[in-house]
Amino acid sequence: KQEVTQIPAALSVPEGENLVLNCSFTDSAIYNLQWFRQDPGKGLTSLLLIQSSQREQTSGRLNASLDKSSGRSTLYIAASQPGDSATYLCAVSPPGSNYQLIWGAGTKLIIKP
Amino acid sequence: DVKVTQSSRYLVKRTGEKVFLECVQDMDHENMFWYRQDPGLGLRLIYFSYDVKMKEKGDIPEGYSVSREKKERFSLILESASTNQTSMYLCASSSQPRNEQFFGPGTRLTVL
């Protein structure tokens, strides 16, 4: 059974630092992996989606990598800003499913000015 | 940009009331989803729909029903609201084959 883990549950860093958020999954057979951000009391915003055949995706200051063999994905945030403070969630889609997402519990990120 | 809208940001209902939550997407996505999100439990799938008038149960369908009469609209129905249905409800949509899910702003439902 696929399980997704995000460690740490919370992270606080000074503004301007580069940082990495981690996502681990137990079954390397995935269709894709998606990173989201969620602000308090709001919906989820899709940040990046990596297909199983890809190694990384980039959007602005964000870079997500995927290593299926080790069951890991990382979200790299460059030059962090207070506006990056949010909860970041990763979710994997199993192969053969057009709907199912297996969710991590999220990492709550605080960027200190 | 994909836009998913939900009918209400906040809703307060009484126990036993029938509650309708509406979701509309503007990107012609065939898949639509309803989740609830609770502290410590994460996101849980209630129902999803892969086409008009088609629906599939998710992980926690009990106490809920859904309706999809038009491709762009997916409704979640609480037939008789109970206090344990107090939660944040999130709607999402996606399209094959990419299957990237896009979410609405959420509806915070409180059942008194």
Average pLDDT over residues B95-105: 92
Q: How far is CA B9 from the centre of its chain?
A: 13
Q: What are B36-74's pLDDT values in tens digits?
A: 999 989 999 999 999 999 999 999 999 999 999 999 999
Per-residue model confidence (pLDDT) at position A98: 65
Taking CA atoms, A95 is separated from A91, A99, B19, B112, in Å, by 13, 10, 35, 41
Q: How confident is the model at residue A91 (pLDDT cuts 50, 70, 90)?
A: very high
Residue in B with minimal Cα distance to A44: B103
Instruction: Say if residue A94 is preceded by a cis peptide, omega within 30 of 0.
Output: no
pLDDT digits (tens, 9 = 90+) for B12-34: 999 999 999 999 999 999 999 99
Q: How far is B55 from chain A (nearest CA, A)?
A: 11
Contact: B96, A98; criterion CB under 8 Å = yes
- A97 vs A90: CA distance, rounded Å: 17
For B19, counting Cβ atoms within 10 Å of its Cβ (0-12 exposed, 13-18 middle, 19+ buried), the class is buried
Quick one: pLDDT band at residue A25, thresholds 50, 70, 90?
very high
Phi, psi of B85 (to 5 degrees): -100, 5
pLDDT tens by residue, B78-94: 999 999 999 999 999 99
A5, A88, A98, A100: best mutation site toward chain B, by most B Cβ within 10 Å? A98
